[in-house]
Structure 1
Amino acid sequence: MRKRYSIYIPLVLVLVDVFIINTVIYLINDKDYLNPKFLGYINLFWILSGVITNFYKIYRHYNYFKVISALSTQAIIFVLGFFTFFTIFREGDIVNNQTKVLLSIILSIVIARLLFVYAIRKYRRRGNNYRKVIVLGADESAKKLIEILKNKKSLGYQFLGYFSNKEEDGTENFLGSISKYESFALAEEVDEVYCSLAELKSKQIKKVKKFAIKHKRGVKLIPNSNELNTKNVSAQYYDDSMLILNVKKLPFDLPENRIIKRVFDFLFAAFVCLFIISWLYPILWILIKLESRGPAIFKQEREGFNGEEFVCYKFRSMRINQEADKVHATKNDRRVTKLGSFLRKTSLDEIPQFFNVLLGSMSVVGPRPHLESLALEYQKDVDNYLERHAVKPGITGLAQISGYRGEIKKKSDIKNRVRLDIFYIENWSFILDVKIVVSTVLNIFKGDENAY
């Protein structure tokens, strides 16, 4: 994929706003504002309120009306936060220049933001900062979108052509039948795929979404009247006339959610390593060594984020055997040692995976990682299996606390696990992670009949 610089735009805008706020206060040079307490509060309030209201998310299809609307919302919240400071910390005091400070900051930021939007649109009009797009389908709505993508350069799209099963060779911008889009999209590093809901069937749409998840491409839908009320999409207008349905981003598509999860993972794993593994590891190391020969830590390659393999750590619970990397443990498995049985029932064999969390190859909560050989089998039985790779694998997960752990005896077992994994990915929240961790700890003390 080409390098993307648009992801840095929100950060640049934050820095510009903070610079403006502090510069205005410095130039006014009033001790009521030019002090660490007020500066710290007002900068932090502006940034947090901007993140919460999505003030720093400026999409390519946004026009000046959308930008002004976002500025108005942010300005109202900022005014409330501004006066809240003096109500809490300076109640009863007379503070000068409040209107002057407020108007100076807001007007400066409004002017800066409008100038930025003008500059970025002009920059894109010259063929810079573009995204490569293709269209699947050739109905009237698709053709209307194609004209907008070709003529509205300020949107920042480079239209490469369209695929359709209803067109013939020789038509302008026609690239072939729909079945050929995947190889073209990969060869040309296409960023977004627009699908006509009038021409493509639901199975084809699902296939496109699966392709997009695997190769990190965007998917947008050109609607017909039957699709306007679907819950999985949000409406966008291109050129104020062309309605496009954007496939809603998953929680982990948002950088702030990944940061929150990574910070939680690191702090939680560091706590476990420092206060539990530090004294538990040497005890279990000795006990494992006394019962059977071999290393105390069992290392195994598993599929992780984006399907990439990583080395997963566990306390060894089996005697050394040649089937360890091929066959999962079953009930009354003779390979499992007496200590190993205890470790499995209490999930203590998974504790070394907190090192994986610190290294960044795993998360505390997420879909359990599978062996590549088994994953290939599961893909045949479950259509959306690959969606699990959209996040890092976890030490525990929603499927595990819901009773789906241990041996997979029938197809419905893996289907139910994947169903819960996908639900977790699509509905993630920090609170959900906390609930799963708490449930996992409680299950350790209660015991699990599927842990063997």
Structure 2
Amino acid sequence: MKNKTGRYSIYIRPTIIFLDLLIVNLLVLLCMRPAMSNFGYHTILTLFWLVISYYSGYYEVFRYSKGIEIFGKLLKQFFYISLITFAYVGYKYKYVTTDEVGFYILSSFILVGLLKFSIFILLKKYRILYGGNYRNVIIVGSGKNVDELRNFFTQNPDYGYNLIKIFDLKGNKKEALIDCSNYVIEHKIDEIYASISTLNNREINNLIQFADNNLKTIKFLPDNKNTFFRNLAVEYYEYIPIISLRTIPLDKEVNKRLKRFFDIFFSLLIIICLLSWLTPFISIIILIESKGPIFFKQKRNGLNYAEFYCYKFRSMHLNPIADLEQVQKNDPRITKVGKFIRKTSIDELPQFFNVLLGDMSVVGPRPHMVSHTEMYAKSVDKFMVRHFIKPGISGLAQINGFRGEVETEKDIINRVKYDIFYLENWSLLLDIKIIFITVVNAIKGEKKAY
């Protein structure tokens, strides 16, 4: 049987839509009383399911989509379906209970979610085992980005990309591009990946025109300066297109308020349930071992570079260089109690008061001491971008191994890359994922937690 290529096999999406509608409609019969199972409600449910999924991109799941992204789409879909269901129940309140509606929504969420993830995983397995549902691709250009993409294609067969050839354009570029165009047609290539750094504007426009005229998908790798490695946003001043270098989800008022609500809720939960009894205990053992205050406060830079006092349980003997030198492995300044609370990240818990006060967020780029911020701002490219959002107790860089001491230039560069990715791709689900991994790492113990 000939393998089919393309973004989706033509039957996959319609089949998934049919099965989803079948599940949510059949469960009305099983979970709620007959009064809800009528032609009017089934029509409303089906219609709204299709409309909501269209505008929310619920079925826009690609082979490179991440599990957390798919789960987010599922949550969004059922949030709106829940509103519609409860609104209809308000009209039929005499014939169905809130418990029955809640059980229906939960059952639908679980079954539709299982179906969605099962198909996503099975498609990945199918690509690996049988080589089906793949796309033939070529790469045009050369350089570090091209090498990284080639390695990605060859090392991740589950994504379903079949790299056929690389046109490095190192010889006669004009002839090579003509050969490339002919090759795409002759070998039925589905997607073209072109390196911007290898091509000039005219060659890029010619490639786009060729792809459009031959129904081929073309995608570009960013240049060496990462000019295009951003969430570019296009706005119009009347009819004049203006490109912003990045979009920051937390610039939107609704996202800002959602994150703030979560921060207040989560910080109060930790303060009431954990710090209320842990603080007296930690305070006693800190004072028994060494003289000094229970809490250590240090000026750090936060949102828009504003300075604030960041609070921690004191883990070191009093010393005059606490605000100048970062803690190192086997640092003699650290007390015995300090080693334990730093290893388990207990020393960071007072920062939930910073969150409650609004200086920090539960998740965000880790704030540096002022002296280090000034140093990195001069030496590390894009370091100041981190200050577009509030700093956090934990962050994406920290759960990926870039916490604690900055031992090499690579450490701070990668930390900045993760922080910028976070601020450009923020979601509440990403925050929850980071919190979960942070807790797991704290329990296991981390290599750089000293």
TM-score by length of structure 1 reads: 0.50
Residue in 2 that maps onto 1:347: 345
1:275 paired to 2:273: yes
CA deviations 1:177-208 (Å, max 9, x no partner) are xxxxxxxxxxxxxxxxxxxxxxxxxxxxxxxx
Change (3 A) 1:449 1:427: same
1:233 paired to 2:232: yes
Mapped contact 1:381–1:415 kept (Cα < 8 A): no
Runs of 4 or more above 6 Å deviation: none
Q: How does 1:33-432 map to 2 (within 5 A)?
A: 85=88, 89=92, 232-239=231-238, 241-432=239-430
CA deviations 1:243-268 (Å, max 9, x no partner) are 44455531111011111110111010
Aligned residue identity for 2:314: R
Residue in 2 that maps onto 1:39: none
Mapped contact 1:365–1:437 kept (Cα < 8 A): yes
Mapped contact 1:405–1:450 kept (Cα < 8 A): yes
Give the match's secondary structure for 1:400: helix
Change (3 A) 1:377 1:338: same
Distance, in Å, in 2 between the alignment partners of 1:353 and 1:441 is 15
CA deviations 1:402-432 (Å, max 9, x no partner) are 1111111111111111111111101100000
**TM-superposed deviation, 1:308:** 0.6
Higher mean C-alpha deviation, range 265-274 or range 377-386: 377-386
Distance, in Å, in 2 between the alignment partners of 1:422 and 1:287 is 39
Distance, in Å, in 2 between the alignment partners of 1:316 and 1:435 is 28
Aligned residue identity for 1:295: P
Change (3 A) 1:88 1:280: same
Residue in 2 that maps onto 1:162: none
Mapped contact 2:366–2:395 kept (Cα < 8 A): yes
- Structure 2 unaligned runs (5+)? 1-47, 57-79, 96-227
Mapped contact 2:399–2:434 kept (Cα < 8 A): yes
Change (3 A) 1:318 1:249: same
Mapped contact 1:381–1:411 kept (Cα < 8 A): no
**TM-superposed deviation, 1:353:** 0.5
Change (3 A) 1:255 1:324: same
Mapped contact 1:366–1:398 kept (Cα < 8 A): yes
**TM-superposed deviation, 1:282:** 0.3
Change (3 A) 1:365 1:85: same
CA deviations 1:26-60 (Å, max 9, x no partner) are xxxxxxxxxxxxxxxxxxx9xxx9xx98xxxxxxx
Residue identity (%): 49
Give the match's secondary structure for 2:405: coil
**TM-superposed deviation, 1:91:** 9.8
Give the match's secondary structure for 2:297: strand
Distance, in Å, in 2 between the alignment partners of 1:81 and 1:245 is 38
Distance, in Å, in 2 between the alignment partners of 1:363 and 1:230 is 26
- Report the number of matched residues: 244
- Structure 1 unaligned runs (5+)? 1-44, 54-76, 93-228
Give the match's secondary structure for 2:258: helix
Aligned residue identity for 2:343: K
Give the match's secondary structure for 2:381: coil
